[in-house]
Structure 1
Amino acid sequence: MFKFIPSKHDDKLIQVHFDCNVTGNEAPAIIIAHPYGPLGGNMNNNVVISIQRHFVSRGYITACINFRGCGKSQGRTSWTGIPEQQDYKSVLDYMTNNEELGYPKPTKFILCGYSYGAMIANSIECTNLPCAYLLISLPLGVMWALATTKQHVFKKQRPQPTLCIYGDRDQFTGTSRFLNWCQAFSNITIQCVQGADHFWFDYEQELLNHVENWRLGLSL
């Protein structure tokens, strides 16, 4: 089901694909954000689709975002990431508070992003419900270009359970940078996948295997 959610930043309509195959009053939920729009990023991406299908099969309410300027969402990609941060937060708030969705009420969230989407997901404060963070190929090496003067907003470490997963052949961020950034976390799982690069082609199933092992160990 596709819906358009007004962004808290400027009321531009953000396209979101919701899916859920469970009935009942309550279910866990995941929000999934895509890579950088001007380089072709949108929800129709191999990693985003793989994660979405996996979590639907595990009984989650899933929401895939098209950030502003991507797909049928209004607006244009920003220079700072702050409007996209508000796009993501708008979806989180909508799922938490809006009963028009017609799906079970979320009991907990996984805030997920891939590449640029991971940068945005990591910046979201989640306080109303238990949350965990799934950060796939966080682009630490090029964050200066994606967020310009606001990159400090997107490098914060979270106390909630977090999986930071990346390939050892990532073209944008080296293993040492991932490890240095992760050292400040108190509740993080770091997973390096041998042979995978930033785009995960032919490694989607291995990615899902690691994600599932982490999910099963969550205590939210």
Structure 2
Amino acid sequence: MPSCTLFVESRQDKTPLEIFVSGNQSRAEQQQAPGIIIAHPYGPLGGNMNNNVVIALEQYFRSKGYVIICMNFRGCGKSKGRTSWTAMAEREDYMSVVNYALDDSTLQEYPSINRLILCASIPGYSFGAMIANTIDCANVPCAYLLISIPLGVMWALATTKASYFKKPPHDKTLCIYGDKDQFTRSSRFRDWCHDAVCIPDADHFWMGFESLLLEQLEQWIHTLQ
């Protein structure tokens, strides 16, 4: 099944957002499949979908038969606009991609999504995890993959709206972090999510630890099925 790059308008202000869609089966081969939306770390510090964790997740979930959507927030990659000061516009960006993915009239070459993982790099990685955790998805069953959620620096990423993004984790959430994270202490992760999974020696960027991250995902995915 070929991958494709598309643009989706943000419901915030119609800003065009770049998404990359992939999967290993067509709708003719399989009517329905699980889906995942993967968002990336903070854009002004170099975050975009061309990231080691995002790429590792995309390849892993494609091998599991998921429909995968990787997105670039506003101001990142080929998405238009610029990063906001409060992260609320990026939340609208993410929700716009969720709505697009669940609209049965779009992505007709791919299986219809019947359950969804929000990973911000929803799954979510860093800044993307912060965004994904605030999304409530009522149309299909949802789970949340939060990788290195930046609890220690939300005050800088969301300024006046930081408290909004500190909501407790949902049910069916995997919160995973490295004990060498440069932005958040291990105790902050444990206090926020008592079931958080710690990977020894991994830091915020996961270089060289992608395989250990995927091992934890393998165990979690089985619980969702």
**Could you tell me which residue of structure 2 aligns to residue 34 of structure 1?**
40
1:57-136, aligned counterparts within 5 Å? Answer: 57-102=63-108, 103-112=110-119, 113-136=124-147
CA distance in 2, matches of 1:215, 1:15: 27
Unaligned runs of 5+ residues in structure 1 are: 184-188
SS of structure 1 residue aligned to 2:215: helix
Q: Which amino acid aligns with 2:38?
A: I
- The alignment of Structure 1 onto Structure 2 pairs a total of residues equal to 214
- Confirm or deny that 1:46 pairs with 2:52: yes
What percentage of residue pairs aligned between the two structures are identical? 56
The alpha-carbon deviation at position 42 of structure 1 amounts to 0.1
The alpha-carbon deviation at position 98 of structure 1 amounts to 4.1
CA distance in 2, matches of 1:157, 1:9: 25
**Could you tell me which residue of structure 2 aligns to residue 165 of structure 1?**
176
**Could you tell me which residue of structure 1 aligns to residue 21 of structure 2?**
18
1:46-82 deviation line (CA, Å, top 9, x unaligned):
0000001100000000000100000100100000000
CA distance in 1, matches of 2:55, 2:117: 16
The alpha-carbon deviation at position 182 of structure 1 amounts to 1.4
CA contact (8 A) 2:34 2:67 kept: yes
**Could you tell me which residue of structure 1 aligns to residue 204 of structure 2?**
198
The alpha-carbon deviation at position 158 of structure 1 amounts to 4.0
CA contact (8 A) 1:131 1:160 kept: no
The alpha-carbon deviation at position 157 of structure 1 amounts to 2.0
1:162-198 deviation line (CA, Å, top 9, x unaligned):
0000000000001100111114xxxxx4210001000
TM-score under structure 2 length normalisation? 0.93
SS of structure 1 residue aligned to 2:161: helix
Unaligned runs of 5+ residues in structure 2 are: none
Q: Which amino acid aligns with 2:15?
A: K
CA contact (8 A) 1:33 1:118 kept: yes
Q: Which amino acid aligns with 2:83?
A: T
Moved more, 45-54 or 154-163: 154-163
Moved more, 153-162 or 84-93: 153-162
CA contact (8 A) 2:6 2:18 kept: yes
CA contact (8 A) 2:144 2:170 kept: no
Q: Which amino acid aligns with 2:164?
A: V
What is the RMSD of the two structures over their aligned residues, measured on CA atoms? 1.0
CA distance in 2, matches of 1:98, 1:70: 27
**Could you tell me which residue of structure 2 aligns to residue 9 of structure 1?**
12
CA contact (8 A) 2:179 2:200 kept: yes
CA distance in 2, matches of 1:155, 1:162: 15
Q: Which amino acid aligns with 1:41?
A: G
Moved more, 98-107 or 168-177: 98-107
CA distance in 2, matches of 1:86, 1:3: 18
